[in-house]
Amino acid sequence: MSQKSSDQEGISNDSPQFTTSAIMLEVHPNRAELYEELHNRPYPLVQTPCCVTHIALFITPEQRQQEYQHILQLCLRFSINPPAENASCFYQNFGGFELRWEKHMEFSTYTFISFDLEDKDFVDTPYNGLALKYVPQDWLQNLTGKSMVAVHLAMVKGSEPLEQQYLDVAFEKMRISGSTVAKNKAEVYTSFRIHSDGFSRILIQDKSLNSYQAGRLMQRVLEIETYRIMALLSIPIARKLAPKVLAMEDQLATINKSIAAVDEGFDDNATLLEISGLAAKIEEYRSATNYRFGGTLAYYDIVNDRLTQLHETEISGVQTLKEFVDRRLGPGIKTCEAIKERMESLSLRIAQTSSMLRTSVELSIEAQNQALLSSMNHRSGLQLRLQQAVEGLSVAAISYYFMGLLSYIFDALTAQGIPVNKSTLLGASVPIVIAITWFSMKKLTRGLKHGQ
């Protein structure tokens, strides 16, 4: 379409666009990135035999720049183009070894693969760090982060059952788990333990895998080992929290019992403060562990997913990988889930208790207000009656003084020779004076009330 027509349709010239012979559409800025996201981190292509060393390092966000600079140093040393600074993965052949670096949310993995091997290397010393033979040792010693997982993996070719003597050498006579996987195309063995060299060990016997299947299998078993350990991170936290959560549950139960008993000495304010303290403490625990427990459950799901993808078949006399993980890791994960659920339930029950107590306090205050209003009404009635009595006495007193004034007036008239019957006039004036005084007092009282 022409530039003129695109302007008419309101398409910005600065926006990414794609065209066909029929249309021109504005492209979302993340379109290409989203398409590529599903193609990131492909499985390696692996030729058997090979030796692999896999390291997972726990790393903080503040160490990410240092980590990138360290990878950059390795690339400069081998004259290799480095990854982009914001890259989430980097796969490169360095000649004597292949490096696969992947960045995850809270850890990074380094996988070193060496193919320059002979079968005899695995017969004598299958786990002597052959994959790290050409990796600069000074660079390797200064990897950024704290080691969480370190594993040597050996992949050997063969269709005959592995001899027990070979397995004893490979795993230092430790008890192993293993199974036939990939529809009987391979066997996997591991001890799930740290060996004398500080590394755990995995052995894969390739019976009939192609390079893609071998790479996929290798990646899956390494992910099982990595995420298995990462999932265990929250178990010490759960064990530490368990007695604290139990104590808080007991404390809340005691508070609820006190509220239900409604003792005369029950202190609402003190109890509210105690509940507020409990609420603050449980929210502190939840906020401090929510991410860790959530990560544990996510890692455990990945472990189970990778185990399912192995399609394990039992080898006689050997425990499968899934059986081991379910038996050993499963209870720990359930403990973490239980602590997480108990804290959520405790937080909810604390809120309910607080609401119940506040309602009780509000009802108590309302009852006190009603009693106060009744008392005030009673006092107002007494004051009204007293006021009326005072007004009556005031009318009598004022009328008495008026009558005294009239007496003086009548005496003055008599002194002037005006014939006046003082007693008769005073007697007749009494009701008139009282009436005038009463109406005057009423008018004055109404005026004062309106003025207020």
Amino acid at 351: A
Q: What is the pLDDT of residues 251-289, one digit of tens each?
A: 999 888 887 776 655 677 788 888 889 999 999 999 999
Domains of the chain: 3-35 (no CATH), 41-209 (no CATH), 233-372 (1.20.58), 384-446 (no CATH)
Q: How far apart are CA 323 and CA 178, in angstroms?
A: 10
Q: What is the pTM of this model?
A: 0.75
Task: Give the pLDDT confidence score for residue 417 in this predicted structure.
Answer: 76
Average pLDDT for runs of 10 along the chain of length 452: 41 51 79 81 88 95 96 95 92 93 96 76 63 93 96 91 87 94 94 93 94 96 97 94 94 86 68 88 93 94 96 94 94 94 93 82 77 82 74 76 79 77 78 81 72 58
CB atoms < 10 A from the CB of 222, how many? Answer: 21
- Short-list 367, 361, 369, CA closest to 259: 361
DSSP for 370-391, please give it.
HHHHHHHHHHHHHHHHHHHHHH
Q: Phi/psi class of residue 111: alpha, beta or left (left: φ > 0; alpha: ψ in -120 to 50)?
A: beta
Q: Is 224 exposed, middle or buried (0-12, 13-18, 19+ CB in 10 A)?
A: buried
Amino acid in position 129? G
Mean pLDDT of the chain: 85
Q: Show the tokens assigned to 402.
A: 């008026």
Enumerate the H helices of 311-421 as residue ranges: 321-415
Query: For 175-201, b where at least 16 C-beta lie within 10 A, e where not — what string?
Result: ebbbbbbbeebbbbbbbbeebeeebbb
Could you tell me which residues come within 8 angstroms of residue 446 by beta carbon, excluding any fewer than 6 positions away? none
CA 38 to chain centre: 28
Nearest CA to 152 out of 187, 113, 118 is that of 113
